[in-house]
Amino acid sequence: MTANRIFNFNAGPAALPLPVLEEIQASFLDFAGSGMSVTEVSHRSKWFDDVINDAVTRTRRLLGLGDKFEVLFIQGGASMQFCMIPLNFLAGGGTADYVNTGTWSTKAIKEAEIQGCDIKVVASSEDRNFAYIPKDIAFTPGATYVHITSNNTIKGTQWAAFPDTGGAPIVSDMSSDIMSRPLDVDRFGMIYAGAQKNIGPAGVCMVIIRKDMLDMVPDTIPTMLRYSTFAAKNSMFNTPPCFAIYTVQLIMKWLEETVGGLEKMEAHNLAKAGRLYSLFDESDFYYGTADKDSRSQMNVTFRLPSEDLEQAFVAGALKEGLGGLKGHRSVGGCRASIYNATTMEAIDALIGFMQEFERKNG
């Protein structure tokens, strides 16, 4: 661990790869020989053109995107997408299916309902406090899209495999697991991800959208809420969040050139999560909150025998340089967010602390 830096298990904004931070630091005052910081160069300059175009190109390569997809960068986070999706795709009628697997799915459903859209909640895991991913879902024939949240940061569940929707395009909130594993992108009409969990700092949302979905966008909604506006102007209809996009570009570069692609990233993520879940499965002191077949590889949620012990665990961990282990305020408990940037060294340190804490308090 670098001096004065903790092992960061925050759920978001979350840990960024150290080599990316070091590259930002090295170029912050003089970006690409411009004599300016990347936060100062014009978004209309060649310097920033190179940044955003490289971010798009690397995203395409990593996910194997064909020409039928656009890669966009939009402000407002994933929460803005909750309202933009039905606004863009259901304004002309049609129906959409939603699967409710936790807090963020619930918020997406609410935003569609506010607009009076015809949506159906075709499956939910609310009956067991969102501890699992629903199976054997009966989707609506001819649905305009099916909305899912691929990974649930608060409840610690994740779609291990994506559902058969009968041909309806999947629209997925992948804020917390995008670029953590390879995808069969042809099954998706749109993927969106707030950057601050797995691919960058807060301030930008990556949107990967199939071009035929853009044909549904009406010209009767506000200009800045149309996906077609961003697609037509390479995400630069107005001044974009330049620094956030620059960081995303560097993370795509790190994934390609340092990690070696999404297959290797997935193997590393599975190894990290597997070590933590094995500890739970062998312990009578710690227990995970998600069903085993629904466990997230990104957000490991767990409880201890009492809330007092949980508070002591979080406080003691921080003293040992392990930060961000408190569970979400809505559910309590503990959570280790182990996104792409989390190293095996961090996992080793956490497991060592957990074993010692159990020895002293079990």
Active-site residue flag, 155: no
* Amino acid code (one letter) for 115: Q
β-strand partners of 171: 147, 190
Check 97, 155, 159, 173 and give the catalytic one: 173
The stretch 311-321 carries a mean pLDDT of 98
pLDDT band per the 50, 70, 90 thresholds, residue 4: confident
Query: 104, 155, 159, 272: which one is catalytic?
Result: 104
pLDDT for 127-138, tens place per residue? 999 999 999 999
* pLDDT tens readout for residues 245-276: 999 999 999 999 999 999 999 999 999 999 99
Annotated catalytic residue within 47, 155, 197, 272: 197
Nearest to 327 by CA among 9, 111, 64: 9
248 close to 206: Cβ distance less than 8 angstroms: yes
Mean pLDDT computed over 65-91: 97
Identify residue 294 by its one-letter amino acid code: S
Q: Which tens digit of pLDDT belongs to each residue from 218-227?
A: 999 999 999 9
Q: Which of 214, 241, 246 is nearest to 52 (CA)?
A: 246
Domains 21-259 and 261-361 share a fold: no
**CA–CA dist 199, 176 (Å, integer):** 9
Percent of the chain with pLDDT over 70: 99
Q: What's the CATH class of domain 261-361? A: alpha beta
Please check the confidence at residue 1 and state whether its pLDDT lies above 60. Answer: no
Question: Is the Cα torsion angle 339, 344, 350, 354 positive or negative in sign?
Answer: positive
Residue 168 confidence (pLDDT): 97
Taking the CA atoms of the chain, what radius of gyration do you get in angstroms?
A: 21
Domain 21-259, what architecture?
3-Layer(aba) Sandwich (3.40)
- Enumerate the domain spans of the chain: 21-259, 261-361
Instruction: Give the pLDDT mean for 171-194.
Output: 98
Whether 212 is a known active-site residue: answer: no
How far apart are the C-alpha atoms of 38 and 41, rounded to whole Å? 6
The pTM of this model reads: 0.97
156 token code pair: 């610690």
Integer Cα distance of 91 and 94 in angstroms: 8
- Identify the three-state secondary structure at position 230: helix
> In the predicted model, what is the mean pLDDT of residues 294-304?
98
Given strand 334-337, what is the order of strands in its sheet?
287-288, 299-303, 334-337
Residue 308 among the catalytic residues: no
Res. 2: pLDDT tops 80? no
